Amino acid sequence: KQEVTQIPAALSVPEGENLVLNCSFTDSAIYNLQWFRQDPGKGLTSLLLIQSSQREQTSGRLNASLDKSSGRSTLYIAASQPGDSATYLCAVLTQGGSEKLVFGKGTKLTVNP
């Protein structure tokens, strides 16, 4: 059974700092990995999707990497801003079984002005 873990559960940084969020998964047989952002009480916004054959994806100040063999992904946020404050979730689409995403519990990020 696929399990996804995100460390740390919460992170507080000063504005302008570069930071890394971590995601690990137990079963490397995945189709892809998605990073989402969730603002309090709101829906999930897809940030980046990394296909299983890819090593990284970039969008603006965000860079996500994937090491499928070791079951790890990182989300790098450059020059953090207060508007980046949110909960970041990673989810993997696992091969076999139902078509579902298995989510981590998220990292709550606070960027202080």
Partner 1 sequence: EAQVTQNPRYLITVTGKKLTVTCSQNMNHEYMSWYRQDPGLGLRQIYYSMNVEVTDKGDVPEGYKVSRKEKRNFPLILESPSPNQTSLYFCASSLYYRRSSYNEQFFGPGTRLTVL
Contacts with partner 1, residue ranges (CB under 8 A)? 31-32, 34, 36, 41-46, 49, 51-53, 89, 91, 93, 95, 98-101, 103-106
The least distance separating partner 1 from the CB of residue 31, rounded to whole angstroms, comes to 5
CB nearer to partner 1: pick between 31 and 70: 31
Pick 13 or 56: Cβ nearer partner 1: 56
Q: Tell me if the bond preceding 8 is cis, omega within 30° of 0.
A: yes
Residue 53 CA: distances (Å) to CA of 14, 31, 86: 35, 8, 28
Comparing CB distances to partner 1, the nearer of 43 and 113 is: 43
Report d(CA 83, CA 4) in Å as an integer: 26
What is the CA 97 to chain-centroid distance, rounded? 23
